[in-house]
């Protein structure tokens, strides 16, 4: 009885014992993390992220390399999933550094066109000035057609504007 009253005087975690107290602390920590993770995205950020991807697609459809360029950061990295969810199967497709970006866009927009694409946003995640947005895209270009293809875009915010840094397409493989 003395031990029970002594434990009770030390608070509710002491009554639970060490294991119960640790579980309680873990539950509180998990709740805090979930609260932070579930924090709403600033509507201005979400709009800026979506607008960058829309401008990229609109520029491709219009055959306008300058409009595509306005949506991209200083360079761009693309990689493919080779039809696999297993990262060991993924392929680097292309890195286009700043000094080659305008030339590459001029060649790509015209050479792979005409472009058609529509997309719907599946998810958006933002942390400070970094964002990941997944879309479901349907469209075509000179080389292929796609329907409900998942594209994961990486974006960064600089000087108040969201820019595309690169993207990942799971269901495509590099040409031989």
Q: What is the pLDDT of residues 74-104, one digit of tens each?
A: 999 999 999 998 999 999 999 999 999 999 9
What order do you get walking across the sheet with 72-80 strand by strand? 91-96, 72-80, 161-169, 145-158, 130-140, 116-127
User: How many Cβ atoms sit within 10 Å of the Cβ of residue 148?
Assistant: 10
User: How many Cβ atoms sit within 10 Å of the Cβ of residue 159?
Assistant: 5
Match 């005087």 to its residue by tokens: 9
Q: pLDDT at position 24, please?
A: 59
Rounded CA-CA distance 12/159 in Å is 50
111 φ, ψ to 5°?
A: -70, -30
Which of 83, 53, 82, 87 lies closest to 70, judged by CA?
53
Q: pLDDT at position 40, please?
A: 87
First vs last Cα of the chain: how many Å apart?
78
Report field, pTM of the whole predicted structure over 0.85:
no
Q: What is the pLDDT of residues 11-68, one digit of tens each?
A: 444 444 555 555 555 556 555 444 445 568 999 999 999 999 999 999 999 999 999 9
Tokens of residue 160, six digits: 């108040």
Q: pLDDT at position 175, please?
A: 85
């Amino acid at each position: 009885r003395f031990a029970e009253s002594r434990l009770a005087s030390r608070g509710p975690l002491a009554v639970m014992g060490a294991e119960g107290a640790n579980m309680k602390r873990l539950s509180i920590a998990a709740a805090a993390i979930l609260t932070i993770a579930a924090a709403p995205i600033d509507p201005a950020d979400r709009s800026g992220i979506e607008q960058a991807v829309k401008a990229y697609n609109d520029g491709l459809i219009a055959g306008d390399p300058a409009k595509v360029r306005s949506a991209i950061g200083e360079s761009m990295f693309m990689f493919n999933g080779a039809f696999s969810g297993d990262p060991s199967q993924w392929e680097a497709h292309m890195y286009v550094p700043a000094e080659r970006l305008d030339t590459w866009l001029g060649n790509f927009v015209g050479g792979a066109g005409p472009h058609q694409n529509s997309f719907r946003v599946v998810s958006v995640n933002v942390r400070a000035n970094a964002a990941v947005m997944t879309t479901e895209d349907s469209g075509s270009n000179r080389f292929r057609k796609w329907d409900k293809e998942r594209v994961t875009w990486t974006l960064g915010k600089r000087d108040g504007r969201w820019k595309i840094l690169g993207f990942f397409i799971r269901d495509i493989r590099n040409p031989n």
